[in-house]
Amino acid sequence: MPEKVGFVGLGIMGRPMAKNLMAAGYELVLHNRTREKAETLAAETDADSVAEVADNPREVAERCNVVITMLPGPPEVERVVAGEDGLFAGAKEGSLIVDMSTSSPVLAKDLARQAEERGVRMLDAPVSGGDTGAIAGTLSIMAGGSDEDFERALPLFEVMGGAITHTGPAGTGQVVKACNQIVVALAIEAVSEALVLGSKAGVDPEIVLDALSGGLAASSVMKVKRRNFLERDFEPGGKVKFHRKDLGIALTAGREYGVALPTAAVLDQMFGALMAKGRGDWDHSALITLIEDLSGDHT
């Protein structure tokens, strides 16, 4: 029987990740800032899946030896892990905290240090793949921490993900995720420019995607976000405001390590412009609408 696992954060990504663990037979202890989300998921249990709800992160840690967090960003991660009634307050010696949020490499290393001082183990294991990958259990997982802790968490990762990489010591998972978010943002922007150019020149956007997908320009962005681009459906899988947050983390890391990230800085401003237009809760593929705005095109 798989061990009991805590799961904190049941948003767009966290809910399907937790649901996949339940389907795999793990007994979960759930917590979410909006309690109703945890109660709704717990109510979906059946004979093969069991879940209960905790009032706060401390209670989750008290009931489980392994806890996964999936939170919006660094402030929430720090509060849930190290704050009052946080995971550290209830974690037993030898327990493992796996933060799968996209957060700060500096914070990840600091929390790992604090965890070690308490006799607690910690991994930073952010993911890529959006809600589609979370639902399908095919996320790309980038885990920073010790070999032993990675091996301990691997059975859980294998339920939630497809490509699973041990990136190195604490903090490196978040560094690799920052790299990932730079590339994804650039790819979305490049595809957006290509589609708007093709459209204004009279080429069907679907034909543009078909042609580009067969050559060197092919990318996962064109495959995963194809429907968003073609149907103008910006129901969020990865929100504009969260991707801008991620780029902010990458730019901070760039300053920390003395790396110039000029195009990432431009993309940060472009996502900021989308937020100023009231599109912060749209899918990040909505970057195409900004290109259209700049081109005087609103198709």
Q: Annotated active-site positions, please?
A: 177
Q: Are 240 and 282 in contact (CB under 8 A)?
A: yes
Backbone angle region of 168, left / alpha / beta, with phi > 0 → left and psi within -120 to 50 → alpha: left
Q: Which residues of 275-294 are buried (b: 16+ CB within 10 A; e: fewer)?
A: beeebbebbbbbbbbbbbee
**Could you give the C-alpha distances from 285 to 47, 281, 289, in angstroms and in order?**
39, 11, 8
Q: What are φ and ψ of residue 94, in 5° steps?
A: 90, -5
Q: Are 174 and 101 in contact (CB under 8 A)?
A: no
* Percentages of the chain per state (helix, strand, coil), in multiples of 5: 55, 15, 30
**Separation of alpha carbons 229 and 249, rounded Å:** 26
